Structure 1
Amino acid sequence: MKKSQLTNGEFGEFYAGYINRLDDETELVQGLNKNTAEMLEFFRSIPANKWSHRYQPEKWSLLEMVQHIIDSERIFQYRALCFARNDQNSLPGFDHDLFVLNSGAENRTGEELIDEFEAVRKSSNILFQSFSEKMLKIIGNMNDVNTSPRAIGFIIQGHALHHREIIQNRYL
């Protein structure tokens, strides 16, 4: 399934910024695999002395930024799984600043976070491969926004690209 096949009502306007970072021909599972390789290569290219860097005192460090990407992906996985299993409960949002504040990312290394990102993304790849076409189209509600599992798969990719751009422009 390609990004261009998403329909109105499968994701909210807030998430369009992530999804629109992807080419219309991006295929869900192959896109996740390609995005994984690109993100891992990018993370591995970051010099060791940059991981604790903050571009302003009140902003997240690079360690915290990568932990945020990981935490968000785990939450998106859960949401996609709930929707694919036709759980019609509205799922809450999460406070990403609170998650970062309590993540302990500053006590970790870039290498540890890269390993964790790789494991979480492998789990995403397997999860999305397991969904049937029917499952991918089921609409659920997350944080008061109707969304499908297939849209979440593209959101995951675009969210990583969004933060890669921030890292490139403000941290390196």
Structure 2
Amino acid sequence: MEQLSNTEFGSYYQNYIEKASNYNSILEGLESTQNELLEFYNALPESKLTYQYEVGKWTPKDILLHLIDSERIFAYRALRIARNDKTSLPGFEENDYVPQANANMRDLSDLLEEFISVRVSTLTLFKSFSEEQLLRIGTASSYPVSVRAIGYITIGHALHHKQIIEERYL
């Protein structure tokens, strides 16, 4: 991983950055976690896909669609900052998205297809960035963030949620 400065992301994202630290590059991490998540979800028992370990908690399908939605938002932020847009980008309330997304009504294969599509798009976007663009810093969710930090946040966010499923759902 490139040596990120703590000025390139808000402290809220430290956990995600740490989880992504095993990867030498953003592209390697995005490709690897795509494969890891596909294998992981395909191996989950059908009975666990809509399981809640506690009332009101998300199911693994909810989590997968949350990863998809979040990645779209992260990629949008990266695009705007890379293009030198100085607009402060708002946060989003993830807990408002999940009940509206109806993930549990969808087939796993459909969700995984959407995940692959979004991940391929994210990979293509990050491949297009120059070193200068990757180092650009903007503001998202009231915190400074670099384009490259957004890449590692995307990777770490997926790994974080995979770990939660492993620890609390299986």
Task: Please classify the TM superposition score into its range, dividing by the shorter chain length.
Answer: over 0.9
Matched-pair contact (CA < 8 Å) for 1:63–1:109: no
What's the CA shift for 1:47?
1.5
Residues 64-87 of structure 1, C-alpha deviations (whole Å, 9 max, x = no match): 111111100000000000000000
Q: What's the counterpart of residue 76 of structure 1?
A: 74
Structure 1 alignment gaps of length 5 or more: none
Q: What's the counterpart of residue 129 of structure 1?
A: 127
What's the CA shift for 1:50?
1.3
**Structure 2 CA distance for aligned equivalents of residues 47 and 126 of structure 1:** 32
Aligned residue identity for 1:14: Y
Matched-pair contact (CA < 8 Å) for 2:20–2:153: no
RMSD: 1.1
Matched-pair contact (CA < 8 Å) for 1:11–1:145: yes
Task: Report the 3-state secondary structure (helix = DSSP H, G, I; strand = E; otherwise coil) of the residue aligned with 1:102.
Answer: helix
**Structure 2 CA distance for aligned equivalents of residues 72 and 25 of structure 1:** 20
Task: Report the 3-state secondary structure (helix = DSSP H, G, I; strand = E; otherwise coil) of the residue aligned with 1:52.
Answer: coil
Q: What's the counterpart of residue 99 of structure 1?
A: 97
Following TM superposition, where does structure 1 have runs of at least 4 consecutive aligned residues deviating by more than 6 angstroms?
Answer: none
Task: Report the 3-state secondary structure (helix = DSSP H, G, I; strand = E; otherwise coil) of the residue aligned with 1:88.
Answer: coil
Aligned residue identity for 1:133: E
Task: Report the 3-state secondary structure (helix = DSSP H, G, I; strand = E; otherwise coil) of the residue aligned with 1:89.
Answer: coil
Count of residue pairs brought into register by the alignment? 170
Q: Give the alignment's TM-score, normalised by structure 1.
A: 0.95
Aligned-residue sequence identity (percent) comes to 45
Task: Report the 3-state secondary structure (helix = DSSP H, G, I; strand = E; otherwise coil) of the residue aligned with 2:144.
Answer: strand
**Structure 1 CA distance for aligned equivalents of residues 2 and 148 of structure 2:** 11
**Structure 1 CA distance for aligned equivalents of residues 37 and 64 of structure 2:** 11
Matched-pair contact (CA < 8 Å) for 1:91–1:141: yes
Residues 121-161 of structure 1, C-alpha deviations (whole Å, 9 max, x = no match): 11111110000001111100001000011100000000000
1:146 aligns with 2:144: yes
| 1:47-126 superposed matches below 5 A | 47-126=45-124
